[in-house]
Each structure stands twice: as structure tokens, then as C-alpha cells.
Amino acid sequence: MDDDLRSVKILEVCRVAPPVEDSPAPSSLPLTFFDLLWLRFHPTQRLFFYELSSTDISFLDAIVPKLKTSLSLILRNYLPLAGNLVWPQNSPAPTLEFVEGDGVFLTVAESNADFYHLSGNGFHDVTEYHSLVPQLSVFQDRAAVVALQVTSFPNGGFSIGITNHHAIMDGKTSTSFVKSWARICHNLDTVGGSTMEVTPLYDRSVIDDAAGLSEIYANVWLNSEGPNNRSLNLKLPKTPPGLIRCTLEFTPKNLQKLKQWVLKKRENNKENDEHVSSFALATAYLCVCTAKSEGLRDGKFLFSFGADARSRLKPPVPSNYFGNCLVAAFVSMERSELLGENGIVVASEAISEEIRNLGERGLKGAENLCSSMAAMISSDYSQETGIISIAGSPRFEVYSANFGWGKPRKVEMVSPESTSVFLFTDSGNSDGGMEIGVVRERNEMETFVALFAEGFECL
């Protein structure tokens, strides 16, 4: 057994059920094509680390009971999360079903690891976080939607780990759930925990599927790896050995410096200068750093990112819509241009243009997207696709999740563990900056971190 697994002792595994009386949430929920795309994709995992201001706060007598009570209350509004994904023989597509007695599994644990090491920005072996996030209960005929784990540390704090099925909710929905749970927990002693961060919208009719994508995607999975394959087992990617992770920061000062440098280089082309977003600047900078670290001078450099489609669809989908609602963006650039003097300018313009075109392009070509996903997953994928991509978003504002013991000291995306994915969150300083999770082999990490720091010095 790995050392990181030996450092965690499981104290309790319980099922937290919602009060089902007068629940505003449906007990049954169909999946849209946005959901079906991720049917057998690996789960997403996040860790929230909380530092305790006093050693007098009892983990088992104060923290755990409040988390359990508030979790039960929030599940009343998020009833589908307490259910299971099933695919009945008489159903053309999987569905999410809640029956009385269902609930969310919550693991209570204690660790002898160093809280401040794990919640810091420095180098960590990726396996150090594995025992702090729970596994989803997934079988051939049913799959849990979410699992939670709360872990105490001997020297200053505790963590909350969440693992969720990607076919049920995207990052926006998942973080809205966590922040709503946190708000109820925070308000338990004052208003009975009745306030909500966001009231989820379950109305599937707001998703226009005139092209019949749900039927296309369901048939893709039915015919993947055998006929009538209704399996709900997940395909978990292989993590290469020896990977470490660290967190890099785009401070507001560095982002402003980067913006001024880019605008100065583009001064002969005023068009859209005012629309250079922090996201375009940050991702352009990361693309250039990656191209430099890879050392290849010829060929295409491919970059992709997911974008929230709620405001981009016609008609728009309400921002509180529960589920997946993502569109994919792809940018292709010449490596030789990225490595040139104006590489950041070239990348930021290409990324900005793709962002502007997302609304017009919408779901063009989406009928083939699920086939590509299924092919990637069935090929025993390792997550190393040759395409640099982004997971997470600073717009989720994960650092606002205050359960009553202060805002998180650190929020870490545990999945995916891939050298081709950058993990984006807002800054823990709440100053408009961004945190970027990076995964590399150690020698590659040291090179990348050096390039990241040196780049700002040259602006």
C-alpha cells in the first residue's frame, strides 16, 4: 500500500439522505446531449482545505455534525445528487433517478500528513492527494452521482474532498452546489441554514435539441465496445508514474503588465484592443511557456478549452441551469510563431478570436463529438492527447466557499492528472488574480516554473 494511503484512517462512512418532503427538485431527471457526452468520462475531483483558527474546535463534535446536517438540508434542493444514474432496458438513454432511502456517501477520516504542506503551492507528488478524495460507487447497472470526504489533520485544519460524475454536472454546477452547501452550513446557527447560494433550475426544455444530438450520443455509447452496451462503468485514465503538481499564480500586477505589453505590441492594430481578456492573456502566456519547454520549433501547437454555453446558446439558458452546458473551443497555432518575439501576441489574438466566434459557431459539428470522445476513452487513454487544454475556471469563485470556519486556505483540482491540462481557479487572495495548477515530471516542472517566472521579467 502507498505511504499516502497509510497516512489516512477512515473513521466513518455514512449515507446522508435529504428530507424528501416538499422537495422543489425532481426525483427523476433525463440527461441532455451536453450530459451524455461525458457518460463514461473520468469523474472530476476537488479538494478544499480549511485552516482552523483555534485548536478548541472539535472535528468530530462540532465540524462533522454541522457538515452532515447542512449536507442533508442542501440535498433537499439538489435531490438528484442523492440518486443514481441508471440505464433501464426499456429506456433509449440513461436517466438520473432518486428513490427514498438514497443518499450521498460521506467519508469521515483523519490524516497524519502535514496540513500546511498539502495546502501550499509548492511541489507535491500527485499521489499525496489520492487518499483525501473519495471514490464514486460505480457499477455496471448504476452509478453514484457524487461522493464526499472530510479529513482532519493534526496541525491546523481539515479538508473537504468532492468527487462528482461529469455526466451529471459541469464545473459551474458542481461549485454552485458546494458554495450553496457552505452557505447553509455557515448560517445553521443563525437562520437555520435556510439561505441558498443559487436555486438550481432543472427544466430540460431550455436546451434546444432540434438536431437530435441526445439520440445520436446515446446510440454512440450503446454501440461502443459491443452491441446494446448499457454499461455505466467509467473509464479511468492511467496516470504516468513520477508526476508532481504545483500551483503558479497570475497576480493582478503580472496580468496588467502582460496586458500593457500586448497592447503596445498591437498598437498598429487597434481593433478589439479593449477586449483582451485576462483569460486570453493568461492562456496565451501558458501556451508560449509550454511551447518553449517542449523545445519543438516546427509544426502545429494545439490548444483547447471548454466554455460555458449558457449565455451563448440561442435562446440563452439561465445561469442557474443544473447539468452540463459546455461547448468546446479549439485553437491551432504555428509553433514557430509562438516561439517568436511576438508569440504571446499571436496566441492571445488567436484565443480571443476563438472566444468571439463561440457564439456564432455554437454546436457546429457537435454530431461527431461524442464519437471522438468514445474513441478516445475506449483506446485505454492516458489523458496525454497532444492538445494542451484547460480545466476549471476562475469565474467559479471557489474560494468563496465558507462553511463557517473561514474561506479556504487552498482549493486544489485533483483531476485530471495530466501534463497536457492546466487547472484554473480564482486566486485565494480574492484580488482578481488566477491560480494555475500544473502537473509535470520533476525535471520538466522545474523547467516550466523557471520559464513562467522569467517570462514576466522580460516584458
Question: How many C-beta atoms lie closer than 10 Å to residue 210's C-beta?
Answer: 5
**Is the distance from CB of 85 to CB of 164 less than 8 angstroms?**
no
Question: Is residue 289 scored above 90 in pLDDT?
Answer: yes
Closest C-alpha to 247, from 409, 391, 436: 436
Residue 171 predicted with pLDDT over 60 = yes
Cβ(63)–Cβ(121) below 8 Å: no
C-alpha cell at 323: 447539468
User: Do the domains at 9-223 and 243-458 have one common CATH topology?
Assistant: yes
Query: Of 4-8, 15-19, 185-189, 379-383, where does the model show the most confidence?
Result: 15-19
Confidence of residue 226 (pLDDT cuts 50, 70, 90): confident
List the beta bridge partners of residue 307. 327
Task: Supply the pLDDT for residue 272.
Answer: 47
Dist CA 113 CA 245 (whole Å): 17
CA distances from 227 to 32, 169, 221, 302 (A): 22, 27, 9, 34
- Report whether 8 contacts 111 (CB < 8 A): yes
Q: Which of 121-130, 154-163, 379-388 has the lowest mean pLDDT?
A: 379-388
Mean pLDDT (whole number) for 348-360: 89
Burial class (CB in 10 A: 0-12, 13-18, 19+), 269: exposed
Percent of the chain with pLDDT over 70: 93
pLDDT above 80 (res 269):
no
Predicted pLDDT of residue 268: 61
The predicted model gives 64-80 an average pLDDT of: 96
Amino acid at 106: L
User: Could you tell me where the DSSP H helices lie in 138-245?
Assistant: 171-186, 188-191, 213-222
Q: What residue segments make up the domains of the chain, in order of their start?
A: 9-223, 243-458
Across the range 390-417, mean pLDDT stands at: 95
Question: Domain 243-458, what architecture?
Answer: 2-Layer Sandwich (3.30)
Alpha-carbon separation of residue 328 from 115, 205, 284, 358, 369 (angstroms): 36, 22, 17, 9, 9
Q: Which has more confidence, 1 or 406?
A: 406
Give residue 56's pLDDT band: very low, low, confident or very high (50, 70, 90).
confident
Virtual CA dihedral for 334, 340, 342, 345, nearest 10 degrees?
A: 30
| Mean pLDDT of the 155-181 span | 96
Q: Hey, what CATH topology would domain 9-223 get?
A: Chloramphenicol Acetyltransferase (3.30.559)
Cα–Cα distance between 426 and 433 in angstroms, integer?
6
**Mean pLDDT computed over every residue of the chain:** 91
All residues at 6 or more sequence positions from 350 whose CB lies less than 8 Å from its CB, including other chains: 284, 331, 333
The strand pair at 95-97 and 326-334 is best described as unpaired
Q: How far is CA 187 from the centre of its chain?
A: 26
C-alpha cell at 72: 442533508
What whole-number distance in Å separates Cα of residue 445 and Cα of residue 347? 22
- Which of the four pLDDT bands, split at 50, 70 and 90, describes residue 5? very low
Residue 270 confidence (pLDDT) above 70: no
- Name the band, by pLDDT with cuts 50, 70 and 90, for residue 365: confident
Q: Check residue 21 and give its pLDDT.
A: 82
Q: Where are the alpha helices (DSSP H) in 62-141?
A: 64-77, 115-118
pLDDT of residue 156: 81
